Amino acid sequence: MRWLRDLLLISALCAAASAQALTPLQARAIAEGDTDARVAALGAAAAAGEPGLAAFVQALLDDAVKLTPTQVLVVQGDKAVDAASGEAGTLPGDAEDVVNNNRMRGALQATLASLRLLSTDRGARAAAIDELGKQAMDEAQLPLIEKAWATEPDAALKAQLGRMRAGVLVAASDPAKRLDAAQALGDSGEPTVKALLLERLADGVEPDDRVRAALRQSLDQVSRRLAWGERLGVVFTGVSLGSILLLVALGLAITYGLMGVINMAHGELMMIGAYATYVVQNLFRAHAPAAFDYYLWAAVPASFAVAALVGAALERSVIRWLYGRPLETLLATWGISLVLMQSVRSLFGAQNVPVENPAWLSGGVAVMSNLTLPFNRIAIIGFALLVLASVALLIARTRLGLFVRSVTQNRRMAACVGVNTARIDTYAFSLGAGIAGLAGCALAQVGNVGPDLGQSYIVDSFMVVVLGGVGQLAGTVLAALGLGVLNKVLEGWAGAVLAKIMVLVVIVVFIQKRPQGLFAMKGRSAEA
């Protein structure tokens, strides 16, 4: 509440007065005069460690300071406290407002943050350094920064303060100080330092040739460090995209790779999984808001189950009559995809719906100054690997997997030994559809959820399956990760549209040379 803040401010000023607070001359020098003189007085008071400075600076930022010919007053309501003596009294009629321009406000904010550099709490000091790094500073703040730099016990924070100090000194009036600062900035890997060096190297800014040479050398060093961050960022983004393609393509590796069904509605099954996640999120928000951060644990099985049930209904009603007829299957599933999209538009609307990340998937881990790995992307990579391992175990080590492989290799012989081939077809198609639902659940954490969600990934997922080798999970993994990284590398070089075209050309050329894909199907009918 405002009255409580006012009371605390008055109390702080009174406490500062009893601890040898600002002198009347210091308070007036900070509150009155031209901006250069006020900033210099502010820096001198900060370097001296005046006890009442923080409260006075906060009052200036709150526009709560007024001037009379003899006093500097901090005003709250109808009361006034002398900034130097701490004595309370009434507000004189001749008191004038203190006017702070943008530069003065910036200096006041920087001083308030820099005063926290001397805190005993490491977290407070780290937060103060981060805040100061976002503000423009001049030599007026240098004494306090140097004092904090000299006394900082933490090596990482001391290095940050050293770069901050060099950033101020690089604009100093003394060429020797600028030279030392220019050389010291070469040890940084911060994008802000690169921008500062480029600014100092602009025409006419730095007159000294030796300093300009040192600035150019430091710029090269900083640029090299930042380039590594950019390269690693491209690789991580490519692996992240590849993990999404892997999730989408795993279902196709079963329905198309093992069963030979060209399912053009696979993207819409993924969309159904995403909308199932949206529905579960809303149920948690409405009925269990305290457990909202755990809604994904319910959304994952729900998205699998809903997509699998829809897949089972499609297989039993339409696709079971079209096995061995790829063209009819393609046309039928394409029509089904249109029906599913329109059904979702009718039920949820044509606009995208929001899916919120739980708190534990928000934010990221800073690996380098220009490289932050988002937690949701890291989680999707781990989730894709978990789903891949589960599918591999299911196909290779379970009774259902044995039946799926037997029906795929020789349907008549499997039927002769008692395998219910129609039921296995339904189970396998439902499994592929359920995996597509899991892909939709994962995609809901990183992108928009809308009726057209599946259209963005269906072509890429088919390319992954064909490139990896029909029915080969290992090939699907390599193809997904390879296409993801290749796509992101080409995007940075040629743009998103040309990158897609170039990737398609690469795949066409590869398939011309190796029609069986990266890994050929083992068996008597496989072509080497």
Alpha-carbon distance of 438 to 387, in angstroms, equals: 9
Q: What is the DSSP string of 309-361?
A: HHHHHHHHHTGGG-TT-HHHHHHHHHHHHHHHHHHHHHHH-SS-B--PPPGGG
Distances in Å between the alpha carbon of 200 and those of 80, 169, 179, 216?
46, 12, 12, 10
Q: Are 467 and 242 in contact (CB under 8 A)?
A: no
**pLDDT value at position 438?**
93
Q: How much of the chain is in helix, strand and coil states, percent to nearest 5? A: 70, 5, 25
CB 42 within 8 A of CB 58: no
Per-residue pLDDT reduced to its tens digit, 266-285:
889 999 999 999 999 999 99
pLDDT mean by block of 10 residues, the chain; 528 residues: 42 40 82 86 77 82 85 80 80 82 83 76 80 68 75 81 78 82 81 82 82 88 87 88 86 75 87 93 91 92 94 90 82 90 90 88 82 88 91 87 80 84 86 91 87 83 78 77 83 78 81 73 46
Say what the pLDDT of residue 305 is. 94
**Is beta strand 88-90 parallel, antiparallel or unpaired with respect to 79-82?**
antiparallel
**What torsion, rounded to 10 degrees, do the Cα atoms 36, 41, 44, 45 define?**
-140
| Cβ(168)–Cβ(132) below 8 Å | no
Stretch (H or E) spanning 373? strand 371-374
The angle at the Cα of 402, spanning 407 to 314, to the nearest 5 degrees, equals 55
What domains sit in the chain, N to C, each tagged with a CATH number? 2-100 (no CATH), 104-207 (no CATH), 233-513 (1.10.3470)
Q: Is the dihedral of CA 448, 451, 454, 457 positive or negative?
A: negative
List, for residues 329-375, the tens digit of each pLDDT value. Answer: 888 989 999 999 999 999 988 888 988 888 888 888 888 777 888 89
Separation of alpha carbons 464 and 470, rounded Å: 10
Neighbours of 310 (CB within 10 A): 23
Q: What is the pLDDT of residue 139?
A: 65
Distance (Å, whole) CA 479 – CA 245? 9
Look up residue 300 and give its two tokens: 């994952």
Q: Where are the alpha helices (DSSP H) in 134-256?
A: 142-151, 155-169, 175-184, 191-200, 209-252
Give the C-alpha separation, 401 to 95, whole Å: 87
Q: Which helix (H) or strand (E) holds 268?
A: helix 266-287
